[in-house]
Structure 1
Amino acid sequence: MSPTSDRPTGRPRTIDPAAVSLVALRLFDDQGFDAVSMDDVAAAAGVSRRSLFRLFPSKAALVWGGLDEFAVRFTDALNARPADEPALVALRAAYRAGASFPDDAVEVTRHRLRVIRANPSLDRGGEAATSALTTLIEQFVAERDGGSTDDLATTVRAHALTAAASAALTWWAVHDDGRPEDVVDRALGLVV
């Protein structure tokens, strides 16, 4: 037997980042974010520490992985709204679409939001994405209402909608009450 014949051949095993993230989020949710190390996550997910860090450079990155998909669904839905539709009606529909998580993402989203709620320091990890969404909303409201992004009313509406949707999603994660898009829609109905 040659020295290389006992090595596996073919492509290396593919690691599913979503599966690794779910394992980590379950651990963080059950044991506490600070109590779980990256080594614990790697062992529980059955991956090497090196592979884990290649996929997720930090523990916080394991938590914030799903925000991009929400932002894409939200932005796509907002861009598809009729041009003559009032801004707040369009935004409510776009938030509903953004919060319509695929069935295979509901559990991971629930754990993600619970972990963020239990660890306020993690909020900083989502600041850039949240700020970008709020800016998008400000621009959308200004364009639809014929105002300016410097308008107090525009700024307050954008921030109020962002905060209401975020609070609704967190409430949904904790209370396990129905579908996230229904809870967000109910919450925005209280604000809009």
Structure 2
Amino acid sequence: MATSLRTSGDAGPRPPALRDRMRQAMRAEVAEVAIRLFAEQGFDGTTVDRIAAEAGLSRASLFRHFGTKEDIVLGHLEGYGHALAEALAARPEGEPPWKALRRAFDVIIRDEEESPERTLKLLRMLCETPSLRARHWEKQLHWQTLLVPEVSRRLGVDPADAQDPRAHALVGAALACLDAAGAAWLACDGATPVSVLLDRAMETLAA
């Protein structure tokens, strides 16, 4: 995160630096190019060189912004982890952890329902591409490490206590519900809002 000097009259955080905004815009543009090519040619049938050429970048420049081919599609999930942790921490004190997790997931649900066609394309690629599924799972494991401390605090347990499985179980189950809702949403081709499907999944485990 960019930092900058403040005067005593400054109020609130400054907007992202120009370089950061340009970098974010470039990453989003490359991702859109890649998703289009993957939809046309398949993930495995699309080379990194082709993506770079279509985006007007060199191969080296592409890899400076994306660690792997999979990250071109899934790189935005890294930011979701921190956004989820912030949303969870902002939930009302005393709210049950399961309910707090559900409401924190609105961070993701809003984005998915604002651009359903794009999200459905991503979900189809995930289902069809083992390497994408594996990378997605790695990123969700990172989300879990970010969410467990706050859930532990709400449960009144020590997050460092490896012998207490409760916080990990709650977060893991909630993320499984998120995945199940996404799979159901894809199966119905977006006909039922993903928020409704997530509510159904999480209410089943809460019953």
Which residue of the partner structure matches residue 8 of structure 1?
none
Structure 2 unaligned blocks of 5 or more: 1-21
Instruction: Find the aligned partners of 1:46 and 1:83 in 2 and give their Cα distance.
Output: 49
Instruction: Find the aligned partners of 2:131 and 2:180 in 1 and give their Cα distance.
Output: 16
Aligned residues: percent identity?
Answer: 33
- Does residue 32 of structure 1 match 2:42? yes
Query: What's the TM-score once normalised by structure 1's chain length?
Result: 0.76
* One-letter amino acid matched to 1:188: M
SS of the equivalent of 2:170 reads helix
Which residue of the partner structure matches residue 185 of structure 2?
172
Match of 2:33 among 23, 42, 46: 23
Match of 2:63 among 50, 53, 64: 53
Cα contact 1:97–1:181 (8 A) shared by 2: no
Which residue of the partner structure matches residue 108 of structure 2?
98
Match of 2:94 among 74, 84, 97: 84
Cα 1:35–1:116 change in 2 (3 A) is: same
Which residue of the partner structure matches residue 14 of structure 2?
none
> How far off its partner does 1:35 sit?
0.9
Q: For structure 1, which segment, 67-76 or 18-27, has the greater mean C-alpha deviation from structure 2 after superposition?
A: 67-76
Instruction: Find the aligned partners of 1:189 and 1:31 in 2 and give their Cα distance.
Output: 39
Query: What's the TM-score once normalised by structure 2's chain length?
Result: 0.71
Instruction: Find the aligned partners of 1:35 and 1:69 in 2 and give their Cα distance.
Output: 28
SS of the equivalent of 1:177 reads coil
Residues 114-167 of structure 1, C-alpha deviations (whole Å, 9 max, x = no match) = 222211222332344312322333333332223455324433222111111123
SS of the equivalent of 1:155 reads helix
Residues 98-122 of structure 1, C-alpha deviations (whole Å, 9 max, x = no match) = 3221777554433333222211222
Instruction: Find the aligned partners of 1:76 and 1:66 in 2 and give their Cα distance.
Output: 16
Instruction: Find the aligned partners of 1:51 and 1:104 in 2 and give their Cα distance.
Output: 30
Structure with bigger gyration radius:
1
Structure 1 unaligned blocks of 5 or more: 1-12
Which residue of the partner structure matches residue 167 of structure 2?
154
Which residue of the partner structure matches residue 190 of structure 1?
204
* One-letter amino acid matched to 1:158: V
